[in-house]
Structure 1
Amino acid sequence: MKKQQEKQTKGIYLLLGENEIDKSEFLNKLIHDFSYNRNVEKVVINALDDFSVDNFIATVRYSSLFVPYRIVILENFDKMPNKSDKEKLVSFLREFRNDNTLVIILSSLTPSRFDRLISDTIQEVGVVKTFWKVFEFNLHNYVSEVLSKNGIEPSKELVELIIARNGQNMSGIAEDIKYLRSYFQANEYVYADKALELLSQKSGESGIFDLIGAIVKGDKYKAILVLNQLFEKGEEPFGFGNILFSQVRKIVKLRKFIDSNLSEEEICKKVGISSFEFKNLRRIVQNMDSRRIKTLLRFVVEFEKAMRSADDTIKLATIEKFIINSL
């Protein structure tokens, strides 16, 4: 069994595609299988950091007297080398034979965009595998499945928050799920409410609640302060913009039920929110009137317009101007 396991992980692998979640899972299995019961040195080369084909070849060829097995990972190999370097790389790949070294090349490119000669050469001596992007129509199911595989309860609210933060950015989705998993103990099952609260804090959603609350109260100074804090924290505008739009939609829906005789649980189901969101949004909704609703909706529109600028300074200035003139 051990020999069969070793045979499966010998040679060179080229892992293509934008689906970083499945790619990462496959990569980890490769590393685990090759490293099983061995003393292994792992070397990671980032093609974005002064990469050269000569250095890559030298790194792969290097052998140590103290560590007999090596894994060499070349990541972010999206920019193809020039003609002479490509010929050098292809020649090396064709001749490379070393059962003690596993070479893994990672690229976000699809097969049609990756260099055909390099991929065909690797296919001859190793394995080429593509991890296709998950399309939007089944993204919810996909995120739900990955959460379940990682021992995290895949509630609708949690799945939607992860997608709102990342869109179809598979690296971002993978990072969020890894963050949730690593925060809790390895064998602990993570319930959705805990994961949702943790990820909400990470995403700055508590800041979004504060921003919305300040706008509803007409507190322009606090609104500008919170807005600047969100930008200073390095939050991705696309991410917290999506969360902002999502929360405003929920606020509008929540207003219809807040004075009803329904229980908190019933309202949460109708609006599609968690108890964590309910507590934050109820506090905001209780201070709202029709005029503030209109101001909030106009703010969302202006925010969306501001996000079209490529310059974060202009984005921030545009939103601040609206707050000053409207609150």
Structure 2
Amino acid sequence: MTLNNTQYRLAARPVGIPKPSDWEQTHEPTPEAEDGQFRVQVDYLSLDPAMRSWMNAGRSYVPPVEIGEVMRAAGTGTVLDSRHPDFHAGDTVSGVFGAQRYAVSDGKGVTKLDLSLAPAPVQLGTLGISGITAYFGLLDIGRPEAGQTVVVSAAAGSVGTIVGQIAKIKGCKVIGIAGGAEKCRLLVEELGFDAAIDYKNGDLRAELRELAPKGVDVFFDNVGGEILEGVLARLARGARIVISGAVSQYNSTGPGHGPANYMNLLVSRASMTGFVVFDYASRYHEAVAELAAWLESGQLQSREHVVEGGIEAFPETLNKLFTGENTGKLILAL
């Protein structure tokens, strides 16, 4: 059976927020599965801020997407036909299938999903890389203790919403930093954060002085730049800063904005540690098991922002990450 596949390939290295001209939409037949392979119809694509950094040339924690390649993207889908002994037609699977409607896989890095555990979008978000990032970044690197103050940037995003809720489960005071009154309302009234700071309409440093009078014990940073500097000014002694991302820098057209006040780490005897979730691949099952238990008990809420647009909506939907239009996990339904 010949399947006409629609794909998005990287046509140029973006400068700033990706433009339509940075993408090439292609249409080509999907190859038949050979021995040891299977074909997948991709149903949902995970859209994550890190995808923007993958478009840049240069050294990073994963190789960049090359010009002309299908854009790297995780997703879930349905096996259509298979010549692989471990995967069968009708299986629901997750993997890095790319920004395309169909994919052929040899099974490496692909996981079968149990939809009785949670719907596929939840398994892309809270029970996927977003939740796993929050889990290990906070608990292994941040090491929060009951009664301590935890601050989370991009707190209304896919990772931040989960970080804050885990910190509450662990008995911490949680302050979220987000953009806009509605996102701040969600954090406090629906997700149980103790407070939220609207960085677009407030004074971050002044509000942190009021909300964290004894300083910040753990800062889980997804933003970088001025927000990172603002929190570094309010560290408690022995604080731990988790560098999970820097969305404020991904579309920068000039030099990166680093923390000018990094010496506060010395004064506060604090640590700042870069964190990449792929280093924990052998332990993903630990995180998923505990996250699933918290979901089932009601201690953890899952937030997905699913856009029904088809593969053709990929470029503009991806950009919602950089214009602050999404709340929770951004997913494109194909």
TM-score, normalization by structure 1: 0.27
Q: Hey, which of these two has a bigger chunk of strand by percent? A: 2
TM-score, normalization by structure 2: 0.26
